[in-house]
Amino acid sequence: MQRDHIPAEVKRAVLVEAGHRCAIPTCRATTTEIAHIDPWAKSNDNSFENLIALCPNCHTRFDQKKEIDQQSIRMYKQNLSILNNRYGEFERRLFEILAKSGERVFVVGVGGDILVANAVKDGFFEDKHVEGMWLEIVGDNGYQKKFPMSFTFWVTDAGVEFIRRYASGVDISS
């Protein structure tokens, strides 16, 4: 089998897993290559489990310069799969943004409570119930309800720790 004969559907799955970005959380560059976690020459393994999306720069730092070790790359791969299974796209982007900014408070608009519901359930974000704007719906039949137009969330200590672990490629499974 040739090195470059990675089946198209496997390539696609590896790119989708990483959101068509470099799998390293602090990088996330949009130019991607497919890298072998266990080197092809040694493993002859073109399976999904042995492949990860990296940008050319991180690929070189891993493959050639050995600045990023195999253990770390395995952890990035494992964390990706956990994140993809447990959190939505919005939450994953939020983790990245918060990892970079270090912010402890953020405001989201209508429906924002739904978009971060999994992270709230896991105790990473907490609704501070800050008074903002409300949308009042009044129906002909006497139905009346107020919906918040914005939500203010606090990143809990557990959230800060989770984001730190995710960004630095430490196991997030526990």
Using alpha carbons, list the distances in angstroms from residue 169 to 23, 41, 57, 164. Answer: 10, 26, 17, 9
Nearest 5°: CA angle at 17, between 20 and 15? 40
| Shortest spacing between CB 11 and Zn ion, in angstroms | 17
Least distance from C-beta 84 to Zn ion, angstroms? 18
Q: Is 58 in the site for Zn ion (CB under 5 A)?
A: yes
Q: How is residue 100 written in tokens?
A: 């970079």
* Sign of the CA dihedral with 173 first, then 48, 91, and 69 last: positive
Span interacting with Zn ion, options 2-10, 27-35, 115-123, 137-145, rule CB under 5 A: 27-35
Binding mask 78-107 for Zn ion (x = CB under 5 A): ------------------------------
Binding Zn ion by CB under 5 A: which of 27, 108, 117, 160? 27
Cα separation of 97 and 95, whole Å? 6
Longest dimension (CA), the chain: 72
- Minimum CB distance to Zn ion, residue 24 (Å): 5
Chain centroid to Cα 60, Å, comes to 23
Between 61 and 86, name the residue whose CB sits nearer to Zn ion.
61
Cα 112 from Cα 18, distance rounded (Å): 23
Identity of the residue numbered 83:
L
Q: Which of residues 112-141 bind Zn ion (CB under 5 A)?
A: none
The tokens for 135 are 């949308």
Q: Minimum distance between the CB of residue 169 and Zn ion, rounded to whole angstroms?
A: 12
Amino acid at 142: G
Q: How far is the CB of 54 from Zn ion (least distance, A)?
A: 6
Among 14, 35, 55, 68, binds Zn ion (CB under 5 A): 55
Interface with Zn ion, residue 158, by CB under 5 A: no
Which residues of the chain form contacts with Zn ion (CB under 5 A)? 22, 24, 27, 29, 55, 58
